[in-house]
Chain A
Amino acid sequence: MKKLNDQMAKLTIKRLSPEEEFPDLSQHNNHMAKVLTQDMFTKLRDRATPNGFTIDGVIQTGVDNPGHPFIMTVGCVAGDEETYEVFKELLDPIIEDRHGGYKPTDKHKTDLNPDNLKGGDDLDPNYVLSSRVRTGRSIRGFCLPPHCSRGERRGVEKMSVEALDSLSGDLKGKYYALKNMTDAEQQQLIDDHFLFDKPVSPLLLASGMARDWPDGRGIWHNDTKTFLVWVNEEDHLRVISMQKGGNMKEVFNRFCTGLTKIETLFKDKGTSFMWNEHLGYVLTCPSNLGTGLRAGVHVKIPNMSKHAKFEEVLKRLRLQKRGTGGVDTAAVGGTFDISNADRLGFSEVELVQMVVDGVKLLVEMEKKLEKGQSIDDIMPAQK
């Protein structure tokens, strides 16, 4: 009877042996390829989440995309909240590797109280052109974009729009569904740099998140265009707070207020965001776990960026640089997108604090280099 029980618990028909099914990862360089062994695959192949997501769904993007020229990609995605439990053996080492040694027993702290941020309102606007904080949220009870059905995606859209429509004050805004947009609305969103389009990156396409595009996708933003929510792009919700200039404190304030309000609205409807003590906020890509937060600025540092110690400084400050077009782009004219490198293991306040302090230092260094002075005496310690 025990044997019957074990067998009954499995979902997939095994056609051919696990050795035959194991992907060829010899040319691959991503986190999944580093961790996945034949034994692990054999074991995980016998499982599925309650929603029917299997190991093949988890790793497909990593198998189809051997490597990225600039960054070590994760190479796997979650199809639902349970993925992180059911496929623990694969995902825990990946999370540990990607998030600076975060152990399966570690606890993640969430802190969305903007009052805990010190400073951040005085970044020099001559250098800091704009400030931005983004994160993602997933709605508990729905499958994530790689695995959701059309009905679920529409359900996420409906629920999110209802919640967003009840925001008021400076957060009051409007929803633009991708497929119902008028040409005028579309042009305006493009001009505002708000519009997202169907992803072209094979990293994203291979995971299945772009199915049925543009059904159930849309953009919500407030009237003052400082708070923006993407619905059903790479995650259920991507929440972005941004404005020109260097007042990161205000941006973070609005970010926290908006997020907390949205979360309350969801709770009133009897649902919530996917969150747990160990992984923090649960999102599609394991690289976005924890806070899922990327706080960044566009900053003009032509001298600093040419300095031999630039990379070292960034590393010590726990910051990363990107081109001003986002990931996969190059910098234009000495203007860089500088943001926190971490996501998990630090709270939101801690991460934004790192950005605020770090950018302040970078601007100081830039000013010194302009005057022909050395920056060696203000080199930071490793955070």
Chain B
Amino acid sequence: MSVVPPVLSCTETEQKWHKPRTMGVKPGPVDAMVVVKPKPDATPASGIRSTLYKGYSGELLDPSTLNPLPAYADMEPDSLPLICRMNITSDKPLVDSIFGKIQTGSLPGQPKESTGSAIQYLGTATRRLASARLPFIHPYLLNCGNKTMANNFARILSSKRNVGILSLIGAGSLTAGFLLNHEHVTAGAQVRRVYPASAEYPDLRKHNNCMASHLTPAIYAKLVEKATPNGYSLDQAIQTGVDNPGHPFIKTVGMVAGDEESYEVFAELLDPVIKERHNGYDPQTMTHPTDLDSSKLTSGNFDERYVLSSRVRTGRSIRGLSLPPACTRAERREVERVVVDALAGLKGDLAGTYYSLTHMTDQEQQQLIDDHFLFDKPVSPLLTCSGMARDWPDARGIWHNNTKTFLIWINEEDHTRVISMEKGGNMKRVFDRFCTGLKEVERLIQEKGWEFMWNERLGYILTCPSNLGTGLRAGVHVNLPKLSKDPRFTKILDNLRLQKRGTGGVDTAAVGSTFDISNLDRLGQSEVQLVQTVVDGVNYLIDCEKKLEKGQDIKIPPPLKK
């Protein structure tokens, strides 16, 4: 009888394709690191008992029995064990909470009405806390006393999305063995097995996206134990990149943000990804300029014999609400409400109507299709794997002004996508309307106490790291029959910092010789700068086309500074 060869799963071999760092968990075979050792004499009904984590049986304890304070009543406050005082020292201001005195700044200590973002991390969380109930210890943390809990912002997540903000809730609660107090869950249920980071690390050997290029086992091990205040985890952020190894035409980003805080909490992974994607822009050291003063734009009128239409688009996110990969139904509906409310206040040539995807009539739907405005449930696995298409079409919709030149998509890939467009070559007017519209919408939401997600390092915050900064894509549909056949066409585009797409958008081929030409960059330059780049570039392309028509030669322009 021949022996069946042993199966080597990928996790049993060491990952060799990266350079392992000395810090953090060294990748090892799953075998050697199994936490759970099944006992041979365990009865089938009892399942697996971990040697490290004990399932808790019996009545839930009265929390007062777990209060360590009486035991340490005799000790000096500054010499109390860390788990007792949570880094509380006499010099730190304390506030009252239902858990007793806790340090200001910790999550449960947030006041109901909080203005400003004194604490950067919690800036957006405070809005939620106004109506939130307090977070609780997950059974996971049973017997986890060894791990240092000193850092308020280290959250340990045990599970998939939207569950379990495990935070430090002040003295007397840390090693509390609280299991779920549910009638139906038997208290003897075993605690979920915990695998070390090396066993959870995704197999990225066949992957070619920015996330896979930068997610080393060491970074994974460090970040996998963290979560944003909303409970968004690293595994969720990278899921789309794990599920989609590569795109035939472009190196995709391979990860998304679930909320504004993702860019902070997972900075160790996101910063290198951003750097790679945005030509070396370093969020740690650089600042992004925002400039929506469209009067600065020059030569923004194209020759309409060549340019068929002009368009500028960007996205905006509402601060305080989670982004599409992570938002709950209620949050998504709130985004819709906030934005539609604001849009109802637009006047003049910006006045318009909202069409909710769930409620639109067949007639409205047909009209929107004919206008090429309607967006449908995404089919690209790049998008669906991130979770942004959940609950479709709930709280999704399209708003546009009566003249059909200003259009807003709600809750598609981002909270909002703002599009200004016209037939013809008047990019100046398109950009004017774009800036005016955006500023108006911003003013209207601010009146109600909301604001857009924005910061100095990253500009406007959107779901995909590729859209940070301006999130702006300004483009034209331009007919270049001669130039497009010239072998120098691609190089010319590259040097002008432009990209070409088919007229159906990304992932499409050109029809005839009409191309969608737009800016390559998003972050590191302002809106005015990027649109100017497009204007100058397209004017140059048209100039080349005219030269070729006359039989003259064209020149490849010098490369623009990135």
Instruction: Provide the bound-state CA to CA distance between A242 and B272, in Å.
Output: 52
B202–A142 touching, CB < 8 Å: no
Taking the closest CB of chain B, its distance from the CB of A174, in whole angstroms, is 6
**8 Å CB contact of A15 from B131, B203, B392:** B131
Contacts A/B (CB < 8 Å), 19 sampled: A4-B63, A5-B60, A8-B173, A9-B181, A12-B164, A23-B391, A47-B182, A48-B180, A50-B139, A50-B180, A52-B159, A52-B163, A54-B162, A86-B180, A149-B200, A151-B200, A180-B8, A210-B243, A211-B242
**Residues of chain B in range 73-107 having any CB-CB distance to chain A below 8 Å:** 98-99
Complex CA–CA separation, A14 to B5 (angstroms): 51
Give the contact stretch, choosing among B42-50, B249-257, B517-525. B42-50
**A2, closest chain B residue (CB):** B62
A175 to B176, CA, bound (A): 44
Across the interface, A53 reaches (CB within 8 A) one of B159, B190, B235, B333, namely B159
CB atoms of A9 and B11 under 8 A apart:
no
Contact partner of B47 among A24, A140, A147, A150, CB < 8 A? A140
- Min Cβ gap A42→B in Å is 12
Given that A155-B195, A215-B202, A270-B42 are contacting pairs, would A11 and B331 also be in contact in the complex, using a CB cutoff of 8 Å? Answer: no
Flag if B180 contacts A271 (CB, 8 Å): no
B544 to chain A, nearest CB (A): 45
Q: Could you tell me which B residues sit within 8 Å of A by CB distance?
A: 1, 4-11, 30, 34, 36, 38-42, 44, 47-48, 60, 62-64, 98-99, 128, 131-139, 158-165, 173, 176, 178-182, 184-186, 189-193, 195-196, 199-203, 206, 230-231, 235, 239, 242-243, 328-331, 333-334, 358, 384-385, 389-392, 394
A82 in complex: contacting residue of B44, B132, B185, B202, CB < 8 Å: B185
Q: In the complex the two chains form, is A14's CB within 8 Å of B133's CB?
A: yes
A16 proximal to B (CB < 8 A): yes
* Contact count band on A: 35 or more
Complex interface: stretch among A55-63, A314-322, A330-338:
A55-63
Please tell me if the beta carbons of A9 and B330 are within 8 angstroms of each other in the complex: no
- A52, A152, A268 pick with most chain B CB within 10 angstroms: A52
A positions within 8 Å CB-CB of B: 1, 4-17, 20-24, 47-54, 56-57, 60, 63-64, 79, 82, 85-86, 88, 140-143, 147, 149-152, 154-155, 157-158, 161, 165, 168, 172-175, 177, 179-180, 205-206, 208, 210-213, 215-216, 218, 267-272
Q: Which residues of B contact A177 (CB under 8 A)?
A: 7, 9
A16 touches B185 (CB 8 A): no
Q: How far apart are the CA atoms of A151 and B134 in the complex, in Å? A: 30
Min CB gap B196→A, angstroms: 8
**Closest CB-CB distance, A57 to chain B, in whole Å?**
6
CA A382 to CA B455, docked complex, whole Å: 70
Partner of B131, one of A16, A211, A215, A268: A16
**Using Cβ atoms and an 8 Å threshold, which residues of chain A touch B235?**
149-150
CB-CB < 8 A to A1: which residues of B? 62-64
Q: Is A8 a contact of B162 with CB atoms below 8 Å?
A: no
Is A142 within 8 A of B10, CB to CB?
no
Bound CA span A278–B388, Å: 37
Q: Which residues of B contact A149 (CB under 8 A)?
A: 195, 200, 235
**CB <8 Å contact, B163 and A54:** yes
State whether A12 touches B63 (Cβ < 8 A). no
Which of A16, A22, A86, A142: most chain B Cβ within 10 A? Answer: A16
- What is the minimal beta-carbon distance from A215 to any residue of chain B, in angstroms? 5
**Which residues does chain B contribute within 8 Å of A141, judged by CB atoms?**
36, 47-48, 190, 193
Contact B47 A23 (CB under 8 A): no
Set of chain A residues within 8 Å of B391, measured between Cβ atoms: 23, 60, 63-64
Residues from chain B with a CB closer than 8 A to the CB of A150 are: 199-202, 235
- Chain A: which residue is nearest B395 at the CB level? A24
The answer to whether A154 touches B180, judged by C-beta atoms less than 8 angstroms apart, is: no
Min CB–CB distance A20 → chain B (angstroms): 3
Cβ-defined contact, A11 with B164, below 8 A? yes
Contact present for B328 and A267 (CB under 8 Å): no
Residue pair B329, A8 in contact (C-beta under 8 Å): no
Is B164 within 8 A of A56, CB to CB? no
The reply to whether B38 and A269 form a contact with Cβ atoms under 8 Å apart is yes
Inter-chain CA distance A205–B390, complex, in Å, is 11
Nearest CB in chain B: distance from A177 CB, A: 6
A140 with B48, Cβ < 8 A, contacts A51-B158, A52-B164, A60-B390 known: yes
Cα A173 to Cα B1 in complex, Å, equals 11
> In whole angstroms, how far apart are the Cα atoms of A56 and B200 in the complex?
24
Also in contact, A270 and B40, with CB within 8 A (given A23-B329, A56-B328): yes
Nearest opposing residue in chain A for B381, CB measure: A205
